[in-house]
Amino acid sequence: MQAIKPRRSLLYMPGSNARALEKARTLDADVVIFDLEDAVAPSAKQAARETVSHALAQGPYPASEVLLRVNGSDTPWGFDDLRAAATLPIDGVVLPKVDDSDRLRHNLDTLNKA
């Protein structure tokens, strides 16, 4: 059986804040979550996706797992977020507001097809 890795601290960082994403590299959080959903204004969603992609291209976050919190699949940004997530060097995706198995399957299909 694989040992359970404790995740004692989860740090949410707005995906639109390049300075915060860079600072996260130096922090000792168990998990860093780049948030494209609630922490980003609707008018900044596309730019935030690009900011996260650029930050991840600069190299790893050695002390942390990196997750991407995407917008819901029922929003104008969800599909593009999932497509981007499939190409990024991240450890996982945080799916918001998934309230039934059909929506979960839809999200997984989108990730797998990207």
Question: What's the chain's length in residues?
Answer: 114
Q: Per the domain annotation, does 52 fall within a domain?
A: yes
* CATH number, residue 26: 3.20.20.60
- Domain assignment of residue 19, yes or no: yes
Q: Copy the structure tokens of residue 87.
A: 């190409």
Whether 91 is in a domain gets the answer: yes
Determine the longest span between alpha carbons in the chain, in angstroms: 46
Q: Is residue 3 part of a domain?
A: no
Q: Give the predicted TM-score (pTM) of the model.
A: 0.90
Q: Does residue 34 lie in a domain region?
A: yes
For the chain, how many structural domains are there in total? 1
How is residue 78 written in tokens? 């969800």
Per-residue pLDDT tens digits for 1-29: 788 888 899 999 999 999 999 999 999 89
Q: How much is the pLDDT for 34?
A: 98
* Residues 34, 38: Cα–Cα separation, whole Å: 11
- What does the pLDDT read at residue 109? 87
Within-domain flag for 5 = no
Instruction: Give every CB contact of residue 83 below 8 A, 6+ residues apart in sequence.
Output: 110, 114
Range of the domain at 31: 10-113
Q: Is residue 87 part of a domain?
A: yes
Q: How far apart are CA 98 and CA 22, in angstroms?
A: 30
